[in-house]
């Protein structure tokens, strides 16, 4: 757990002091990129040969947990870049693509995003409509992506597009697009319920030319590539849920010890102390599911069931614990300046992003041969 | 300079974030629990790593802890230090600054370092006297309060912090230099560093290994005794002045009243 201690120290020293301003300005503090890169926190789970920092998915989960304790909006920004977008570059990129696009992301010199979701296709990845039409030595991309985290700050965007007609399972290809390319533009920042310091945009592709050398992986195999990389993404999001719940518990316990009602600290009232004990238990259970999913994936074992369970359960626990923590705070919890209000808002997206609760339940039901 | 050998005195202390426990019998800090690397020493470790970053260079941590604790040393090893020497012996309990200096000197002497780095003072004891006693025992010159350190051949060049700014000081190597917080920004141990630190050597020595007699160190050899410990006075609330256009004058009047301007 020495690594957890380092992550905690890093977050306390480098991230926590920036949260209030980042949330207020709804902007990710850009100084964090290089600081995280220098500390080796953007290249975990990637081998040194490609510029990574060693480590595994469990170490990524631990980092995610610690970052999310400070702020979901700040946490998600580097986590998307390094652990949701970059894995596509690593798993499916050619050596030259890894040198050019992956290596700078793992050191914080460049920011990455992954663009799959569209206005009419979220969980239904096969239903995307952004088209990539062959043109000369490459493709013309046309269409829009929506809810793209890091959309406005990314230098490198992995974009999923339809390259053939028919069933989406066999007609999707992923491409590497660079910010500033002709034909590519981003909409204004989308205002969200939570994750205020995270940048979320609509991406517009208006006959954006991408050379054939920027195809990532195999043509028409994109659906399967995306599904593979989703596994890591879900572990990261689940770990964020655990971190968020942990932060809510810490804040609630401190408040309950201090706040007096009926002549004694509310932590001595059964209604409150039992709620806190329940929060603690739920969070620990979620943490163990997340660690199990990470450990299985690290061992090369089938982690599909563990990952779906971890994502489903941790996201729900985060919401329940955040709700309970606001209740512990009472009126103070309803104030924006309370330490739990931000977490309460940030928790909700965890049941949606990276595969909704319903998608996880569907995966689990299928694994039960139902 | 090839094969630069730097020793860093690394103290492991009770976590300052936790409430301190004072032993009622000795009036000293209870150090029997979990110990972590003193933040003051992380600056020295970083400075050493920057000065002795070559493949053949060596950064050795030297530490003294009564309970065989190595967690703090592992942190410094994870930052990149080469190896560590820990002196751990029941007879060390109750050592004063001079006792500590004797033990560290005995451990450092055989290493024959080019440079010994220590923090200006520790975060738990704050005597600030150990490094100069160590230099005296090793027969080395010492430069204190370094806010900048550079090696030039067989000379160490130090920017020595003063009240007004800093003095440029040079001193022949080997030497003892104490560094202030802020001399460099300590790195965070990387995942790779943490893994590598697990297999880095920590030599655990006893007093007998160093040829020291129990009577010279620990409570038995201490010439200093803490006779009383009392709680620091609680800070009183400050005065908040709303700036109604005369804020600057109010501040000036306040500073004049304190006779600081």
Work out the average pLDDT over A122-146. 93
Q: Which of B77, B191, B199 to mutate to test the interface with A (most CBs of A within 10 A)?
A: B191
CATH of the domain at A67: 1.10.540.10
Q: Give the pairing of strands B5-9 and B115-119.
A: parallel
How far is Cα B78 from Cα B8, in angstroms, rounded to an integer?
14
Q: Dump pLDDT digits (tens) for A56-76.
A: 999 999 999 999 999 999 999
Please say which residue of A56, A86, A108 terminates a domain.
A108
Same domain, A309 and A197: no
Choose the final residue of a domain: A108, A143, A169. Answer: A108
| DSSP E strands, chain A | 112-115, 131-134, 138-149, 156-162, 172-178, 184-186, 200-211, 215-216, 260-261, 264-265
Residues A254 and A332: their CA atoms lie apart, in Å, by: 13
Q: Which of A2, A9, A10 sits opposite B194 (nearest CB)?
A: A2
CA-to-CA separations, A54 to A58, B191, B195, in angstroms, rounded: 12, 7, 9
Decide if B195 and A54 are in contact by the 8 Å CB cutoff.
yes
Contact list in B for residue A16 (CB cut-off 8 A) is none
The active-site residue out of A233, A246, A337, A358 is A233
> What is the pLDDT confidence band of residue B199, given thresholds at 50, 70 and 90?
very high
> A348 vs chain B: nearest CA distance in angstroms?
31
Of A193, A247, A224, A272, nearest in space to A65 by CA = A247
**pLDDT for A1:** 67
Q: Is the pLDDT of residue B55 over 90?
A: no
Q: Are A38 and A123 contained in the same domain? A: no
Contact state of B78 with A44 under an 8 Å Cβ cutoff: no
Mean pLDDT of chain A: 96
The answer to whether residue B172 scores a pLDDT higher than 60 is yes
Nearest to A153 by CA among A11, A33, A25, A10: A33
Inter-CA distances, B225 with B11, B31, B97, B221, B232, Å: 20, 17, 11, 11, 19
Do A103 and A129 lie in one domain? The reply is no
Place of tokens 């770990």: A239
B73: nearest CA in chain A? A2
Q: List pLDDT tens digits, range B207-231.
A: 999 999 888 888 888 888 888 888 8
pLDDT 10s digits, B32-52: 888 899 999 999 999 999 999
Residues 6+ apart with CB under 8 A from A2: B74, B75, B78, B189, B194, B197
Mean pLDDT of chain B: 91
Q: How confident is the model at residue B63 (pLDDT cuts 50, 70, 90)?
A: very high
Which tokens belong to A260? 């007096």
Contacts B188 to A, Cβ<8 Å: 6, 9-10, 38-41
Q: Are residues A65 and A14 in the same domain?
A: yes
Task: With beta carbons under 8 A apart, name residues in chain A contacting B187.
Answer: 38-39
Name the residue in chain A with its Cα closest to that of B197.
A2
pLDDT higher than 90, residue A258: yes
> pLDDT-based confidence at A16, cuts 50/70/90?
very high
Q: CA of A266, closest CA in chain B: separation in Å?
A: 23
Nearest to A10 by CA among B243, B233, B191, B1: B191
A260 & A176 share domain: no
Q: Domain of residue A201: give its range.
A: 113-220
Using CB atoms, which residue from B188, B193, B194 is nearest to A9? B188
Give the count of domains, chain A: 3
Residue environment code for A320-335, b if the CB has 16+ CB neighbours within 10 A, otherwise e = bbbebbbebbeeebee
Cβ pair A167, A126 in contact under 8 A: yes
Residue B228: inside a domain, yes or no? Answer: no
Does residue B150 contact residue B156 with C-beta atoms inside 8 Å? Answer: yes
pLDDT at B189: 94
Flag if A54 and B192 touch (Cβ within 8 Å).
yes
How far apart (Å, rounded) are the C-alpha atoms in residues A203 and A350?
22
- Number of neighbours of residue B83 by Cβ within 10 angstroms: 15
Nearest-Å Rg of the Cα atoms of chain B is 21
Chain B hits for A6, CB-CB cut-off 8 Å, are 78, 188-189, 194
Residue of A nearest to B192 (CA): A54
Q: CB of B64 within 8 A of CB of B87?
A: yes
Whether B87 and B205 have beta carbons less than 8 Å apart is answered as yes
Residues of A in contact with B191 (CB under 8 A): 3, 40, 44, 53-55, 59
Q: What is the pLDDT of residue B259?
A: 84
Please tell me which residue, A343 or B243, carries the higher pLDDT value. A343
Minimum CA–CA partner of A48 in chain B: B192
Shortest CB distance from A40 goes to which of B74, B192, B197? Answer: B192
CB A46 within 8 A of CB A90: yes
A48 contacts B188? CB cut-off 8 A = no
Segment A205-236, tens digit of pLDDT: 999 999 999 999 999 999 999 998 888 999 99
pTM of the complete model: 0.88
Could you tell me how many CB contacts below 8 A there are between chain A and chain B?
38
Residue A124 has pLDDT above 90, yes or no: no
Contact B190 A10 (CB under 8 A): no
CB atoms within 10 A of CB B235: 6
Specify whether A148 is located in the same domain as A242: no
Integer Cα distance of B39 and B120 in angstroms: 12
B194 vs A contacts (CB less than 8 Å): 2-3, 6
Whether residues A134 and A33 fall in one domain:
no
ipTM: 0.82
> A136-140, A185-189, B15-19, B146-150: lowest mean pLDDT where?
B15-19
Which of the pair, A167 or B59, is modelled with greater confidence? B59
A149 and A180 part of one domain: yes
| Residue in A37, A54, A61, A64 to test binding to B, most B beta-carbons within 10 Å | A54
- The Cα of B123 is separated from the nearest Cα of chain A by a number of Å equal to 17
Per-residue pLDDT, averaged over A238-263, amounts to 97
Cα gap B98→B177, rounded to integer Å: 17
- Picking from B7, B228, B212, B216, the residue whose alpha carbon sits closest to that of residue B98 is B216
Give DSSP secondary structure letters for B175-235.
EEEEE-TTSSPPPPPPHHHHHHHHTS-EEEE-HHHHT--GGGSHHHH-S-------PPPPP
What is the CATH number for A209? 2.40.110.10
Residue B240 falls inside a structural domain: no
From chain A, the residues in CB contact with B75 under 8 A are 2, 5
Question: Is B244 domain-assigned?
Answer: no
* CATH (domain of B123): 3.40.50.620
Region at B211 (left for phi over 0; alpha for psi -120 to 50; beta for the rest) = left
Classify residue B258: in a domain, yes or no. no
pLDDT of residue B28: 81
Model confidence at B2, pLDDT cuts 50, 70, 90, reads low
Cβ atoms of A363 and A211 closer than 8 Å: no
Output DSSP code: residue B110: G
- The contact set of B with A (CB < 8 A) is 74-75, 78, 187-195, 197
Residues A284 and A314 in one domain: yes
In this prediction, residues B80-86 reach a mean pLDDT of: 96
Question: What is the SS3 assignment for B67?
Answer: coil
**Which residue in B has a C-alpha nearest to residue A62's C-alpha?**
B191
Q: Provide the domain limits for residue B72.
A: 5-221
Closest chain B residue to A8 measured between Cα atoms? B188
Q: Are residues A134 and A75 in the same domain?
A: no
* Any domain includes B242: no
To the nearest whole percent, how much of chain A has pLDDT over 70? 100
Nearest chain B residue to A36, by CA: B188
Count: domains in chain B: 1
For B191, the closest of A5, A9, A53 (CB atoms) is A53
For residue A161, the model assigns a pLDDT of 96
Residue B162 gets which letter from DSSP?
-
| CB contacts, 8 Å: B189 with chain A | 2, 6
Contacts of A82 in chain B (CB under 8 A): none
Q: Indicate whether B229 belongs to any domain.
A: no
Among candidate residues A220, A237, A267, the one where a domain is terminated: A220
Find tokens 């596994």 and name the residue.
A231
User: Can you name the residues that pair with A264 across neighbouring β-strands?
Assistant: A261
Q: Are residues A50 and A149 in the same domain?
A: no
| Residue B59 reports pLDDT greater than 80 | yes
Read off the pLDDT of each residue in B84-90 and give the average, rounded to a whole number.
94
Residue A233 annotated in active site: yes
**What is the Cα–Cα distance from A68 to A246, expressed in whole angstroms?**
9
Structural contact between residues B184 and B43, judged by C-beta atoms closer than 8 angstroms = yes
**Would the CB atoms of B194 and A44 count as touching at under 8 Å?**
no
Q: How far from A360 is each of A33, A224, B114, CA to CA, in Å? A: 32, 17, 61
Query: What does R_g of chain A's alpha carbons equal in angstroms?
Result: 21
Per-residue pLDDT, averaged over B156-175, amounts to: 95
Question: How far off is chain B from A23, nearest CA to CA, in Å?
Answer: 25
Q: In whole angstroms, what is the distance from residue B108 CA to residue B9 CA?
A: 9
Are A38 and B187 a contacting pair at CB < 8 A? Answer: yes
């Amino acid at each position: 757990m020495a690594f957890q201690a380092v992550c905690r120290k890093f977050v306390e020293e480098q991230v926590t002091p920036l949260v209030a301003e980042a949330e207020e300005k709804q902007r990710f503090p850009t100084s964090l990129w290089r600081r995280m890169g220098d500390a080796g926190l953007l290249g975990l789970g990637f081998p040194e040969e490609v510029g990574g920092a060693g480590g595994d998915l469990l170490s990524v989960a631990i980092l995610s947990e610690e970052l999310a304790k400070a702020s979901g909006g700040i946490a998600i920004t580097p986590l998307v870049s390094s652990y949701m977008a970059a894995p596509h570059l690593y798993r499916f990129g050619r050596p030259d693509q890894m040198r050019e696009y992956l290596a700078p992301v793992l050191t914080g010199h460049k920011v990455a995003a992954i663009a799959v979701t569209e206005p009419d296709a979220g969980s239904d990845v096969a239903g995307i409509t952004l088209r990539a039409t062959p043109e000369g030595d490459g493709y013309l991309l046309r269409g829009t992506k929506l809810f793209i985290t890091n959309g406005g700050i990314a230098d490198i965007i992995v974009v999923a597009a339809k390259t053939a007609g028919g069933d989406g399972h066999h007609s999707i290809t992923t491409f590497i697009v660079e910010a500033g390319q002709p034909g590519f533009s981003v909409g204004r920042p989308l205002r969200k319920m939570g994750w205020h310091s995270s940048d979320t945009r609509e991406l517009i592709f208006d006959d954006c030319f991408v050379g054939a050398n920027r195809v990532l992986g195999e043509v028409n195999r994109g659906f399967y590539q995306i599904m593979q990389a989703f596994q890591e993404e879900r572990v990261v999001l689940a770990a964020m849920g655990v971190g968020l719940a942990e932060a809510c518990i810490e804040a609630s316990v401190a408040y309950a010890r201090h706040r007096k009602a009926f002549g004694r600290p509310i932590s001595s009232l059964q209604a409150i102390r039992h709620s806190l004990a329940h929060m603690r238990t739920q969070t620990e259970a979620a943490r163990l599911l997340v660690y199990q999913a990470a450990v299985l994936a690290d061992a090369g074992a089938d982690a599909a069931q563990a990952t779906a369970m971890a994502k489903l359960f941790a996201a729900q626990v985060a919401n329940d614990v955040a709700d309970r923590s606001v209740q512990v705070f009472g009126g103070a919890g309803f104030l924006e300046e309370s330490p739990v209000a931000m977490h309460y808002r940030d928790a909700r997206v965890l049941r949606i992003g990276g595969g909704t609760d319903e998608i996880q339940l569907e995966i689990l039901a299928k694994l039960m041969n139902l | 300079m090839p094969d630069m050998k730097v020793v860093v005195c690394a103290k492991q202390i009770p976590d300052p974030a936790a409430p301190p426990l004072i032993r009622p019998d000795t009036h000293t800090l209870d150090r029997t629990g979990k110990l972590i690397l003193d933040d003051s020493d992380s600056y020295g470790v970083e400075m050493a790593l920057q000065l002795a970053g070559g493949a053949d260079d060596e950064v050795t941590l030297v530490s003294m802890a009564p309970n065989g604790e190595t967690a703090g040393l592992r942190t410094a090893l994870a930052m990149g230090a080469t190896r560590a020497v820990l002196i751990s012996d029941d007879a060390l309990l109750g050592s004063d600054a001079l006792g500590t200096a004797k033990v560290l000197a005995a451990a450092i002497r055989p290493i024959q370092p080019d440079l010994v780095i220590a923090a200006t003072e520790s975060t738990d004891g704050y005597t600030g006297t150990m490094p100069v006693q160590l230099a005296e025992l090793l027969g080395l010159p010492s430069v204190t309060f370094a806010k900048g350190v550079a090696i030039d051949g067989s000379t160490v060049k130090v920017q020595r912090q003063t009240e007004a700014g800093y003095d440029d000081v040079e001193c022949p190597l080997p030497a003892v230099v104490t560094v202030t917080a802020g001399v460099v920004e300590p790195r965070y141990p990387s995942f790779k560093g943490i893994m590598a630190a697990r297999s880095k050597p920590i030599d655990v020595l006893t007093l007998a290994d160093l040829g020291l007699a129990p009577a010279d160190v620990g409570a038995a050899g201490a010439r200093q005794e803490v006779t009383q410990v009392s709680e620091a006075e609680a800070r009183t609330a400050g005065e908040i002045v709303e700036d109604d256009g005369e804020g600057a004058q109010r501040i000036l009047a306040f500073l004049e009243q304190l006779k600081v301007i």
